[in-house]
Structure 1
Amino acid sequence: MNVGVLGGGQLGRMLALAGVPLGARFRFLEHRSPAPVDGLGEVVRAPYDDADALARFRDGLEVGTYEFENVPDASARALADAEIPVYPPPAALEFARDRKHEKDGFGALGIPTAPWRAVDDRASFDAAVEQLGLPAMLKTRRLGYDGKGQRLLRSPADLDAAWAALGDRPLVLEGFVEFSRELSIVGVRGRDGETAFYPLVENTHASGVLVRTDAPAPGCSPELQRTAERYAGAVMRYLDYVGVLALELFQVGDELWANEMAPRVHNSGHWTQNGAVTSQFENHMRAVMGLPLGSTEPVGHSVMLNLLGALPPAEAVLAEPMAHLHLYDKAPRPGRKIGHVNVCGPDREAVRDAARRIERTFPDGAGPA
Structure 2
Amino acid sequence: MSKIAPGGVIGILGGGQLGRMLSLAAARMGLDVVIFNPKIDSCAARVSADEIIAEYDDVDALKEFAQKCDVVTFEFENIPAASLDVIEAAGTPVYPRSNALGCSQDRLKEKEFLNSIDINPAPFARIDGPEDILPALEKLGGKGVLKARREGYDGKGQARLDLSSDPIAAWEKIGKVPAVLEAFISFEREISVLVARSRDGQIALYDTPENDHAGGILKSSTLPANVSEQTKEVAGDLGRKLAQSLDYVGVLALELFVLKDGSLLANEFAPRVHNTGHWTEDACLLGQFEQHIRAVCGWPLGPTQRFVDIRMDNLLGDSDIALWETRAKDGEAPRIYAKRGGGEGRKLGHSNKVWR
TM-score (norm 2): 0.94
- 1:122/1:167 contact within 8 Å kept: no
Q: Which amino acid aligns with 1:294?
A: G
* Residue number among 301, 311, 336 corresponding to 1:327 in the alignment: 336
Match of 1:22 in 2: 29
Q: State the match for 1:238 in structure 2.
A: 245
1:188 to 183, 193, 196: 196
Partner in structure 1 of residue 351 of structure 2: 341
Deviations 1:262-291 (A, max 9, x none): 000000000001011210001000000111
Q: Identify which of 310, 313, 318 aligns with 2:323.
A: 313
Structure 2 residue corresponding to 1:299, chosen from 292, 300, 307: 307
Unaligned runs of 5+ in 1: 345-350, 353-369
Preserved contact between residue 35 and residue 45 of structure 2 (Cα < 8 Å): no
Which structure 2 residues correspond to residues 257-296 of structure 1 after superposition, within 5 A? 257-296=265-304
Among 10, 14, 33, the residue aligned to 2:17:
10
2:253 is matched by which residue type in structure 1? A
Q: Which amino acid aligns with 1:138?
A: L
> How much does 1:83 deviate?
2.2
> 1:53 matched to which residue of 2?
61
Query: Given the alignment of the two structures, is residue 250 of structure 1 paired with residue 257 of structure 2, yes or no?
Result: yes
Looking at structure 2, the residues matched to 12 and 329 of structure 1 have their Cα atoms a distance apart, in angstroms, of 12
User: Does the CA-based 8 Å contact 2:131-2:167 persist in structure 1?
Assistant: no
- Check if 1:34 corresponds to 2:44: no
Distance across 1 between alignment mates of 2:220 and 2:300: 30
Gapped regions of structure 2 (runs ≥ 5): 1-7
Q: CA deviation at 1:81?
A: 1.4
After superposition, the CA RMSD in angstroms is 1.3
Classify the secondary structure of the residue corresponding to 2:20: helix
What pairs with 1:106-185 in structure 2 (closer than 5 Å)? 106-166=114-174, 168-185=176-193
C-alpha distance in structure 1 between counterparts of 2:65 and 2:236, whole Å:
35
Deviations 1:324-367 (A, max 9, x none): 110001121121100000002xxxxxx16xxxxxxxxxxxxxxx
Percent identity among equivalent residues?
42
Aligned to 2:95: 87
Give the number of equivalent residue pairs.
Answer: 344
Q: Distance in 2 between matches of 1:176 and 1:71?
A: 29
Check the 8 A contact 2:171/2:177 in 1, yes or no: no
Q: Which runs of 4+ in 1 moved over 6 A?
A: none
User: What is the DSSP-based 3-state SS (H/G/I as helix, E as strand, rest coil) of the residue aligned with 1:254?
Assistant: coil
Q: Is the 8 A contact 1:138 1:150 kept in 2?
A: yes
Instruction: Name the CA distance, whole Å, in 2 between partners of 1:10 and 1:205.
Output: 19
